[in-house]
Amino acid sequence: MRIVLGVGGGIAAYKVASLLRLFTEAGHNVTVIPTEAANRFVGVATWEALSGNPVSNSVFDDVPSVNHVRLGHEADLIVVAPATADLLARAAGGHANDLLTNTLLMASGPVLMAPAMHTEMWLHAATQANVEKLRSRGVTVLEPASGRLTGSDSGPGRLPEPDAIFAAALALMQGNAVPGQLPLAGRTVTISAGGTREPLDPVRFLGNRSSGKQGVALAVAARDAGASVRLLAAHMDVPAPAGVEVVRVETALQLREAALRAAADSDVVIMAAAVADFRPAEVSDTKIKKRDDTADPVINLLRNPDILHELVEVRAAGRPGQLIVGFAAETGDAEGDVLDHAEAKLRKKGCDLLVVNHVGEGLVFGQDNNSVVILSRTGSEPQSASGSKDEVAAAVIDRISSELSRVFPRA
């Protein structure tokens, strides 16, 4: 593949050297186009040594080959990292004042931009408007990672890690991944993951065995399908992926609040978290001690709200084009098998799709593999998916993409 790697003028430019090596070691032919400001952070010699190709940022270099036209026209993929606030603005405005912006205007293949800037710059209305404009044109703009920024500040604005950008780039280069055809490009997807914890006292809680692996895999698959992803992360044994917005929660009530807030601007809501059905009626301010001279403690429980059902009700009241997906961890019993219980749950919840797990000792929770059945509210034939949790996530996101295009097409 012929890749153009545009480098913006931000401190995160040093990380792009690692991204360049990932591309070249995978056998791709990479031409690096740094902005003039980028060359103040990382020199031309570094880009030439790692790419094996000459590097320029001027439209007046190699004039006979008409570089400012040829590079964008011939590229199978253009990646811009870091995409600074200035670079996003110039790209959104259609500027052509250096070799990189000229190349972006000539792009005939997919374009991936990985933003990096200070939090206030990223959240500024002008930057958000530029991002939406680019996405509406079919450009894939990743969400920046959250974490430590230049100096002591922390927040959303970090460049996603090179391997995350690399993975998103590979997704763009596969199959029908061309501008405007990433299945979730321009969509906002909210995903809950992990297990909620309901405190008993300052050191104890009621919890479950969820590791968050499946929810994280869904976030990665949705991100790579072009979506802007918001991950509502309860307790997880795995780190949140780069390139998604992360909202931390602990209890079912906190998850409910975050989910209702996030659903307001989401095209898809996937409730993959393992949410506690009950919480202690009383939470002790101090550790509950075991005493020989007292009776065993009795824990009274309160029912937690049904978040999935509430999301469906809210959707009916004001967001009819939203797709809501539930997850169900089921076991069979004397009253029915796993699918019997799941179908009853689908009718009760009213969501569009229900992804069903058969859980038990050594099954699903904490494991690397999974096997699910996807049920639809429309009554279509159940769909099975199995394999690694990444493979299952890809199947679920593919089904969601199909449902969106069929039932909730773009305006």
For residue 19, the SS3 value is helix
Q: Which residues are catalytic?
A: 208
- Is the separation of the CB atoms in 299 and 212 below 8 Å? no
pLDDT at 310: 95
Which DSSP letter does residue 241 get? P
Q: State whether CATH 3.40.50.300 applies to domain 2-173.
A: no
Domain 2-173 identical in fold to domain 188-278+296-407: yes
pLDDT at 359: 61
Question: Domain-by-domain residue ranges, the chain?
Answer: 2-173, 188-278+296-407
Task: Give the CATH H-level superfamily of domain 188-278+296-407.
Answer: CoaB-like (3.40.50.10300)
- Is the separation of the CB atoms in 80 and 90 below 8 Å? no
**411 is written with which tokens?**
């305006």
State which H helix or E strand residue 206 sits in: strand 205-206
Q: Closest by alpha carbon to 60, among 24, 111, 87, 98?
A: 98
- Is the separation of the CB atoms in 192 and 270 below 8 Å? yes
Q: How far is CA 230 from CA 218, 313, 316, in A?
A: 11, 21, 22
Residue 274 to residue 255: CA distance in whole angstroms: 11
pLDDT at 297: 80
φ, ψ dihedrals at 389, nearest 5°: -65, -25
Which DSSP letter does residue 336 get? B
Residue 27 to residue 178: CA distance in whole angstroms: 20
pLDDT at 179: 37
pTM of the model: 0.61
Residue 367 to residue 360: CA distance in whole angstroms: 11
Per-residue pLDDT of the chain (411 residues; tens, 9 = 90+): 889 999 999 999 999 999 999 999 888 999 999 999 999 999 999 999 999 998 888 776 666 665 667 777 788 899 999 999 999 999 999 999 899 999 999 888 889 999 999 888 998 999 999 998 998 888 888 888 766 676 666 678 888 888 888 888 887 776 434 334 467 877 889 999 999 999 999 999 999 888 999 999 999 888 878 788 899 999 999 988 877 889 999 999 999 999 999 999 899 999 999 999 999 999 999 898 877 767 788 889 999 999 999 999 998 777 777 999 999 877 666 676 778 888 888 999 999 999 998 764 444 455 778 889 999 988 788 899 989 898 999 999 999 998 887 765 554
